[in-house]
Structure 1
């Protein structure tokens, strides 16, 4: 499902000394971390720690003031969002951004746009090549909908689905891009306990069954501890800890950042 680099495997995401400044305010300060291929890497921290800024740099929305971001050996620092997406980086957002009247199938087909090879004229004339490609994309949409648990909802307007399913539509739409790297921005925020468990299971399946690398920003520490292979902790724009979830959870600097408790 994923694209591969020249070595035949999906390469690591390497974030090196990334700094972002806005009018004198330092939002990220020499942040570095590596996301191993096929792993879930969580980026956590208190509100205002720099998590969203980090995501915006990885997806090309913000341009780093300095530092480097490389995906599978390819420098992506400073590339426009569409160029980064074309390299196989897909993202979900905290807030729902689904076309209100579109069906689930139509919403997922939007994720296939970058993979469409049929030209405008061929599509307009309904040439056999265009019809064949359209069928292939729709079949892939059905496969991905089934994978995330939306197979029975394809013909329903996405906007009428329960909130948890709407978040799954966004995740499925990102998967329809056939990403190498998936950026999930608070994927279980606002969900019920049952919805959180179901969505966490889907995310684990994306890693385990599809081998896609995932960077996860999430405030639900239970989900982070269950899903993440590694964790990077930010506070006031700086990386204060990193490593396996259990190690990070007990780090005094992390406890201080979240609870305001003094370090020993």
Structure 2
């Protein structure tokens, strides 16, 4: 009787359609992940939808980014302090504005190169050389901007920037809110902010409007604080969009730029210019 039951069970299994086995990880990821930017299909994804990621690789990536970022901020702080406290250097850079525009040209070229060209951004040591040139040029521009404000204002704005960046970073690491899914909102806000900035640049020379300049600086500080949260969550992963561990230069570039812009807007918002 037992053999009869077994034969009946075997026949029923042969006639039923069993589900296929699940695909392996290689088969599941053979088609690649949807790209956030879509600019580098042949060289791997810069931004990918959340998928499996090695935790040790991600932690090493984060440590590398923040180590380079700490070095960048140290250089910027040293140049800002030099331009603020040393009167001969302060007088020289203010009497020679051509160096500012030269630094701006270098900043713009290196930024476009590191942002748009995957080859120089990933090729050692050119990526670090370009990042160093970018850091020095932006530090010079920030130092020259700081030289027009009194020392107390610069120190206060530095302290406010540190507190804001720490608060935003802790929020980005601890919150369950996925800021990376709000890239459309950030894009629209940044576009509106850019248009307002261009209009303001044409209005101010014909009549000083203090409240408009203050509102613009406040909105800029808020906007780039949001960008800092966005870039931090791209760095840490486990959200809808993450940045590839190969793009440590690009991640460092974005976070550093966010912090410098936040400081610049706080300086315009709270700083007192020298008489």
Asked which structure has the greater CA Rg, the reply is: 2
Q: TM-score, normalised by structure 2?
A: 0.24
Larger proportion of strand: 1
Q: TM-score, normalised by structure 1?
A: 0.25
